[in-house]
Amino acid sequence: MSQPKEGAHEQQLRQEPLRSREQAPPAGQAPQSRSALGRWARLSLSLALDLLYPRPCAICGRRLGLSERCLCLECASRLPRYHEEHTCASERLLGSPLIRSLSALSIYHHDEDSHRLITSLKYSGYRELAPFIIRTALSEGRLRPQRGDIDLILPVPIEPQRLAYRGYNQAMLLAEALAAYYGCPARADYLGRYRGSHSQTTLHRQQRMLNAQRAFYLNKVALQQGVLQGQRVLLVDDLLTTGSTLHALCDLLEEAGVAEVHVFVAAVAIRAV
């Protein structure tokens, strides 16, 4: 292998840390680069904390056993599952010609187990719930689109001030977990929510519909570059109520030339309030 030219020496030095990050450390040795060492240290710390101070169950608050993740076995088995034939939630999405399927894990009742699951994910910083929800949905065969059916995953955006306060978008956490399964990107920058737009949580059905129509926008650069043209999109949110949010976003995606939309939500409200 030829030696680098004299003028390329500085470039080689700049590239060396990148190569170090991409290479796994030899067995029995700690990673050498700072970023890899940081990841290794965080993982070790996380494992140690899980052993010393295990997370409580997101629903009942009981201390989890070593084999339990996020929910205790009792709460996990008791969580009400979504069945289309009983709830018919797909009817709430009939107004959009783009939507091809709806997938969900749970049905949602206010002040019951499913409510505590969603609020723990959404407001309590329990980020590990997102991959747990996706793993559970996968293990139970609840994802309608198959691998190869999805080109792009988009989370329902939240208002910028809420994102800054909360530190994360729960829909993006779900989208990232789904991206690992489908092998396609999850992008949080294609759809946006206007600053100061009202949350859908406290609004009634008609108010939600009106609010959704003026709450969201499509990234202008993405629209101009045509990056969504012909794409098969998986749209992801934590909760489906009336469907007005998804309808408003599908209108934008149709404008951008998206070919079809599939929907995944962690839970479906038992009735469209």
- Domain of 152: which CATH number? 3.40.50
Place 10 in a pLDDT band, splitting at 50, 70 and 90. very low
Domain assignment present for residue 40? The answer is no
Q: For residue 56, give both structure tokens.
A: 């409580």
For residue range 108-151, list pLDDT tens digits in order: 988 789 999 999 999 999 999 999 999 999 999 999 999 999 99
219-260 pLDDT, tens digit each: 999 999 999 999 999 999 999 998 999 999 999 999 999 999
In a domain, 130, yes or no: yes
pLDDT tens for 148-182 read 999 999 999 999 999 999 999 999 999 999 999 99
Q: Which amino acid is at 106?
A: S
Half-sphere exposure of 69 (CA within 13 A, CB side): 11
pLDDT of residue 12: 42
Q: Where are the beta strands (DSSP E) in the chain?
A: 99-108, 152-155, 191-193, 216-218, 232-240, 260-269
Count: domains in the chain = 1
Kindly give the pairing relationship between strand 216-218 and strand 191-193: antiparallel
Q: Per the domain annotation, does 31 fall within a domain?
A: no
Domain assignment present for residue 122? The answer is: yes
Has residue 45 been placed in a domain?
no
186 in a structural domain: yes
Classify residue 211: in a domain, yes or no.
yes
Which residues constitute the domain of residue 231?
A: 79-269
The answer to whether residue 252 sits within a structural domain is yes
pTM (2 d.p.): 0.77
Contact 96, 235 (CB under 8 A): no
**Confidence check: pLDDT of 44 > 90:** no
- Dihedral over Cα of 91, 243, 82, 192: its sign: positive
